[in-house]
Every structure is written in structure tokens, then in C-alpha cells.
Structure 1
Amino acid sequence: MIAARPPRRAIFLLAVLAPLAWPSSARAEVIKVTSPDYWCPFSCKANTTEEGFTIDILRAIFEPQGDQIQYINLNYARALREVRQGHIHAISSAFREEVPGFTLPNLPISQDRYCFYTTSVPGWTYNGPDSLAGLKVGIIQGYSYGAEIDEHIKRNPAGFEVHSGEDLTQKVARKVMLGRLDAFVEDTNLVQYLLARQPSIKLHEAGCASESYPYFALSPAIKNKDDLARRFDEGLIKLHHSGKLEQIMRKYGLHDWLGHYLEGRGRATTAK
């Protein structure tokens, strides 16, 4: 028995509506993202239950649209190189000053604050770059610590010891404890996360710089960088309004920062 042929109108409607039925699969892709595994809670070890909140944010934005986030751990210096060359799509979290020429979304992926930590300089507090005179401070290769500190490092390289490799927050912290460095500067979220999990590391916070905002940094060598940046912005706003962003941050003992950022940007825009 020969099956009845569907009417031409039905065939036309199927042809028109078929692409609309699978909008995400048409553009689905594997988005390769890299970051060090020693940046917990921003980025942690890949393929674990806690990969870091920046990775959780990217998964929550892109995977419901049909894309796949492939998270790869590399030390930061190599991550910058691999992404710049286009071998990997993006770094999950980077400061604007660290990634010249990269494509950045309009919205940041986190809120950071760099603080100084020490055991060996009793009574010392960071009160601007001049207060670093005479100290040996640990820093990490490829980092930007904000314009003020970066400029001081450039003018006074002898006062800083540059580190690269793996597990850097822990390694530099232990050098301070052993008296090989007077202090080190690191994001307060990373250090508090480390101290909570390794009680043997005894450091105290000795002053902080102003808040700063890192970004999901996309390779200048990939074709769809602008589309990914746009989709990130749209997705992050949705996570914020739905409460999903707060849920992700609470997993790491933190909170949704985006409302604070948007309020500040609104005040800055009004002031202009």
C-alpha cells in the first residue's frame, strides 16, 4: 500500500518551522575555556563537583542554549598564550589590563579586591604604593593588580618577586610564612578560600586596594567572539534577575555582586 503524500502546504510549513524547532542545536558548539586550578573559588580543578563559580556561571549561561563548556586547567601565563593564539576560546576570568586586544563582554564575571597578607611585618598596613617601600612582596606572573600597584611594580621591580607555575596562592603564602617574603598580594576571595581549607597557613590581611572587576576574556583569533560576548551579557542578566547567580555564588560562600556593579555604573553614568 502506498502512503498518501502530504499536501504541499504541510511540506512548506515543515520546511519553514523545522529550523525554529531546534534553535540551539543549529549553532551548538564546544566552547573551550581555560583557567588555573589554584584560583578557587573563581576557578578550581576541572571535572570536579566544585569547578569554581566562573565556570558554573558559564555553564549556566551557555549549556541551556545547546553549547558545551570544555574547561581546561592551565597556569595563567600559558592560558594567556593559548587563548591569544586561538587554540582555546577564552579565559574564564581576566582583568582588562592583562588581556589587551581580547574581546570582553560589557559585564564582568566577578568582583575582586586585592589585599596584602603578611606574618613578618607586625603593625604594617598597606596605605598605597609608598607604604611598600623596603618590603619584598610576592606577585604572580601575568597578573594585573590595578593601575596604581602595577605602576609601582614597574617602577620598583626589585621590591617584588615574580612567581609562575602551579598552586601559586598556596606556594607564595607559605614563602611568606617562612619569612622568605615580607608579604604577598592576592584576591581576598582566593586567600580566604585557601585559609578556610588549610588551617596550617597562618596569615593576616594587612590592607586592600579598591574593588576591581575581571571579565570573561575571549580570544581575538576566533570568529564568533562578539556573539559569545553578547550572549554572555544577556545570560548573566537573566541569571541575576532569576536568582540563579546568587545560588551559584552561595555554593562558594559568596554572593551575587552584579546588582552592586550595575548600581555603581548607573551612578557613574548619571554623574557624566
Structure 2
Amino acid sequence: MQTSLRFLFIGLSLYFWLPASQAKTQDIPGTIILATTDWCPYACEKEPIKKGIVHDYIEHLVAQQNRNLELVFLPWARAVQEVNNGNNHGLLTAVPAEAPNLLFTRQPLMAYQMCFYGLADATWRYQGHSSLSSTIFGVMANYGYGEPLDSFVSNYRNTNVVKLAGSDGLERLVAMLEKGRLDSFVADSHVIDWHLKQRQKAPFQSLGCLSQNPFYLALSPKLPWAAEFLASLDKALADTKNRAWLAQQIKIQYQ
């Protein structure tokens, strides 16, 4: 009896003295569930083959860890809320301004550039913060566009900003522009390029762009394995072979 207790004690001691990294790794689930919105060409809900540049990239990286990626497509504001409430592990793409309560990779996934778009005969041009008051423009609620636009949009006194929520945001912004309800709207340049390819026509023009900004993957801080998974993902994102894989996929599938 004493011998059995001794072996039990030794076994428990070895368990609790395992390196912390080993214990944490066992807690990371086999499937990482990330919320996102339909944001082609980065993440595409309705594309049967091309699932999106970032979707394919992160799926490739988590597969290197023998894990799977599952995406949940939601309107953007709800996607952020669901992660904050603990209903999904994280966000596929985000910037800290959109979800300041979450934990982010240190390495960016890609970069985006927000531009103003108007009809072909538009004369207004984006020329920094001072030019924002002279146009009625549309944005999606809770999106992080970058400065100085985020600060301007968050000011409730700016009645010339139209904020939309829900799904099919880009289609609705384009429709409002074409009906004369907006002078311009703001969207990512890659998203617009993708949109125009689907429509096979260019009903609007770029009126000026903000600086490029990186975006990241984010996880809920409530997850006990979040920090370790993000660290492993940062290592993979910094790997030159993985960056080359991403560049090749963009060239083959999305340009």
C-alpha cells in the first residue's frame, strides 16, 4: 500500500512539474473558431472555391500545427460582440481600434488601404482631415478605417457621416452612392477591385486614400491558451517561407 502511494505521489509530482508550455499546448483545441464578415478577397462567404486570401493563409498556418480553421460569418459589429462575449475564439482580421479588449498577433497578416470612392463626375477629393466636412460619405459602423478618419467618424456632431450596420455593406453603400444619397463612401482598395471584377464595370472612381495600415488576427483574452497560440502564430507569420507562400497564392488566385 505504501509503495502504491509512493508511485502515485511521484506520478502526480511529475505531472505538476511538466513545463508550462506543454500543459498549455494540450489545452489548445484542434479547431480554431474565428468570426469574420464577408470581406472578399480577404474572407469570402459566398465564393465556393476561393475562400479568401487571409482565410487560405491562416488555414495553411494552423494546418502546420495539425489544427483546423473554422470561420463564422457575421455582420462585423456582431462578429466583434460574439468574440467579446466568448462565443467564438477570435476574429480572423481586425485592428486594435475595432476590438481593444482582444489580444492580437504581433505580426500583421496583411495590410489594407482605405479610399474614398465617388461617381465618375465627382469633383471632391480627400485631402486630409480638413476636407472631410465638405462631403457626405458612408462608412460601416464599428470598422477601423485608420486616422484621421476614425476620430472624425466617432464624433457624433459630424452629421455628414452615414453609418451602416448589418450585412452586404458594400452593396448598400454603392446603391446609396448611385441613388445620390451619398457623395462618396469609404472602402478598402482590394475589396473595391474585387467588387468591380464581379460587376465588370467601373461605376465610380477613387477620390483619394488614407495611408496603408496592417491588420492582425485577434483572440479573446478569456482563452487560457490564447497567448501561446498567438506566439506560435507570430512565429509562423514571420517565417519567410510562409510569406512566400502567401505572395504566391495572391499572384495565382486573386490578381
Please state which band the TM-score falls in when normalised by the shorter chain: 0.7 to 0.9
Distance 1:242 1:132, change over 3 A: closer
Which residue does the alignment assign to 2:237? 236
| 2:174 corresponds to 1:173 | yes
SS of the aligned residue for 1:147 comes to: coil
Q: 1: distance between equivalents of 2:108 and 2:114?
A: 16
Matches within 5 A, 1:133-148: 133-148=133-148
Superposed displacement of residue 72, structure 1: 1.3
Which residue does the alignment assign to 1:182? 183
Q: TM-score, normalization: structure 1?
A: 0.78
Give the aligned residue type for 1:100. Answer: P
Answer with 132-141 or 197-206: which moved more: 197-206
| 2:61 corresponds to 1:61 | yes
Identity %: 24
Superposed displacement of residue 25, structure 1: 8.8
Is the Cα–Cα contact under 8 Å of residues 110 and 216 in structure 2 kept in the other structure? Answer: yes
Give the aligned residue type for 1:158. Answer: T
Superposed displacement of residue 147, structure 1: 2.6
SS of the aligned residue for 2:116 comes to: strand
Distance 1:61 1:200, change over 3 A: same
Q: 2: distance between equivalents of 1:85 and 1:251?
A: 38
Distance 1:226 1:183, change over 3 A: same
Give the aligned residue type for 2:245. Answer: K
| CA RMSD between the two structures | 2.1
Higher relative contact order (CA 8 A, sep 6+): 2
Is the Cα–Cα contact under 8 Å of residues 32 and 67 in structure 2 kept in the other structure? Answer: yes
Superposed displacement of residue 46, structure 1: 6.7
Q: 2: distance between equivalents of 1:221 and 1:27?
A: 13
Answer with 117-126 or 67-76: which moved more: 117-126
Q: 2: distance between equivalents of 1:201 and 1:180?
A: 19
Where does structure 1 lack aligned partners over 5 or more consecutive residues? 1-23, 255-272
Q: 1: distance between equivalents of 2:135 and 2:243?
A: 46
Which residue does the alignment assign to 1:218? 219
Which residue does the alignment assign to 1:4? none
- Listed one character per residue, the Cα deviations across residues 225-251 of structure 1 (whole Å, up to 9, x for unaligned) are 111211111111236456212122224
Is the Cα–Cα contact under 8 Å of residues 27 and 225 in structure 2 kept in the other structure? Answer: no
Which residue does the alignment assign to 1:119? 119
Give the aligned residue type for 1:203. Answer: F
SS of the aligned residue for 1:142 comes to: coil
Where does structure 2 lack aligned partners over 5 or more consecutive residues? 1-24
Give the aligned residue type for 2:234. Answer: D
Give the aligned residue type for 2:71. Answer: Y
Distance 1:122 1:28, change over 3 A: closer
